[in-house]
Amino acid sequence: MNDGDHEQFEAELRKLAPARPPAELMAKLAAARPHARPQPSSVPTGFGLRQSSGAFGLGRADGKRQRAGVVEDAAAPTRSAPLPVSQLATINYQLTWRLLLRWLAPTAAVAAAVAVLVWWPSRHDQRQNGNQGSAAAQPALKADNVEFDQKLVAAFDAVARLPSGQPVRFRCREWADAVVLHDSASGIVVEQRTPRLEVVPVSFETY
Amino acid sequence: MDESPQQADWRRWLEEHAPKFLLFARQQARSEADAQDLVQEAVMEASQRQNDDRPPPPALVFATVRRRAIDLARREDRRAGRELAAMAPASECWFDTSVEEHELSQLIQSAMSRLPDMYREVITLKVWGGLTFPAIGDTLGIPANTAASRYRYGLQELRRITKEVLA
């Protein structure tokens, strides 16, 4: 198919005009003419009249053609009657909010989860920093008198045998060690006592 | 009652373009009722997108018809069996013809019905829709060069089919 044939065939096709739509459809389309958008008011702003931004307007108020409802086992296809304009506007409003909520609800949940994840660790860090800061703010204890004390609580001997059968004697002593810190400036006395067991093996031969 | 200038413009625009929209919609829809619904929905939706009173660009209406047809087909697939069983074969003539051209129009309509969708929609938009290849590409979501090549291949195929029928 060369270019000449191509153009000739195209010209033949163009001779055919698309069929005119039915009069009923043309009438409905003619009635669906877009309305003029509201013009801005000539009253200057600042005269006590609040002007709507139109952001939440319902758009066009003319009725939209309703699709014919398909009824199971219907004898003949019928078209439903168009809804009143006020009802269409209400449906349009409800659908708009439903669509908004459908997206807003999950988005808000995700945003809340992200906010908690970001806020909680930062708050935890702040709390830790605050504790460290308060500890650092406390003045250190300055002991001006330190006492060490060792008290002998008990002393006894114990005899045992090694696996080779040789007897061994243990000299055991229980001590109570004490450390006492005095901070006369702040009037604090810190006393710590620690029990200590001292075991010294003694050979019978040396005994 | 006299028409306002806007109403007269709107009526002229409809007289000029509504047949093209309906032709395209008939090829996208499964029934005449669906095609008319598609045209009405698309015209209204495209008009709402306009920021002024002027009629919407035809390419926008064509694109809306196609999108709505796809949506409709997805919805209808669930009950396609019952719908198709009840659906009468399309008897509407796609073209407005005189007695002499009646046979030609029937021939072209039959041949167009046998064309693959991707060729048929490009030919319709180009020959009877009056769109350019870039506009066809925007309408169908394909590159302009693809639209041009589909148009060429589609014309060849259409001519082959019509020759078969005439023979």
| Residue A98: partners with Cβ closer than 8 Å, 6 or more residues away | none
Helix (H, G, I), strand (E, B) or coil at A171: strand
Backbone angles phi, psi at A188, to 5 degrees: -105, 135
Helix axis angle for A3-15 and B144-166, nearest 10°, is 80
**Residues A30, B14: contact at Cβ < 8 Å?**
yes
Q: Which pTM value belongs to this model?
A: 0.50
Residue B44 to residue A26, Cβ atoms within 8 A: no
CB < 8 Å to B43, chain A: 29, 32
Q: What is the ipTM of this complex?
A: 0.76
Q: Is A34 on the interface with B (CB under 8 A)?
A: yes
Residue B22 to residue A18, Cβ atoms within 8 A: yes
Q: Is A25 on the interface with B (CB under 8 A)?
A: yes
Dihedral (CA of B33, B35, B39, B44) sign: positive
Q: What is the pLDDT along chain B (167 residues), one digit of tens a residue?
A: 566 777 888 888 888 898 989 889 888 888 888 888 889 888 888 888 877 778 888 998 999 998 888 888 887 765 655 555 455 445 677 777 665 677 778 888 888 888 898 999 999 999 989 899 999 999 899 999 999 999 999 999 888 888 866 55
Report the gap between the CA of B142 and the closest CA in chain A (Å). 22
